[in-house]
Amino acid sequence: MRRHEFLTALGVSAGTVIFAPFLVSCSKSSMNTIVPGPGGGTVDFTLDLTLSANAALNPVGGFLVSTNGVIVAHTDATTYAALASACTHQGYVVAYDNANTRFFCTNPAPGHGSLYKTNGVVISGPAPSALKMFNTTLTGTSLRVFA
């Protein structure tokens, strides 16, 4: 059985994401996803919210990091935020803080810990620039994330 056939049999698609919010895979997706480069790029993928792989996005405050470098958070009942997941300081993955409605850099070392608004704008550094923001559209249980 070929890799694609195996993944298809498991219900894994281009929009499948990682459960652990602090892990980022290096694998590249095919289908309708183009991996964003350091300077940006095209992102266009759809998450099926009925899949267990995407269940983290169902409750408000939930978030996940896709395999193509995008963090998606469910920020209120009808709103999702999608940003590039790599901190603009030194590339550490960011996570979502629902209590404060913001994203934060997970680098625990002193001198890090940048905070970002849900639109990617830096609240506090040392991040030198905003996280790239992507559009989201929810249609039924399908969440499209695109540039």
* Residue 90 interacting with ligand FES (CB under 6 A): yes
Closer residue to ligand FES (CB): 36 or 113 = 113
Q: Judge whether 116 and 127 are in contact, CB under 8 Å.
A: yes
Selected range binding ligand FES among 5-13, 66-74, 109-117, 130-138, rule: CB under 6 A? 109-117
Taking residue 120's Cβ as centre, other Cβ atoms within 10 Å add up to 20
User: H or E segment at 104?
Assistant: strand 102-105
* Residue 89 interacting with ligand FES (CB under 6 A): yes
Q: Distance (Å, rounded) from C-alpha 31 to C-alpha 15? A: 9
CB of 36 to ligand FES, least distance (A): 18
* Residue 102 interacting with ligand FES (CB under 6 A): no
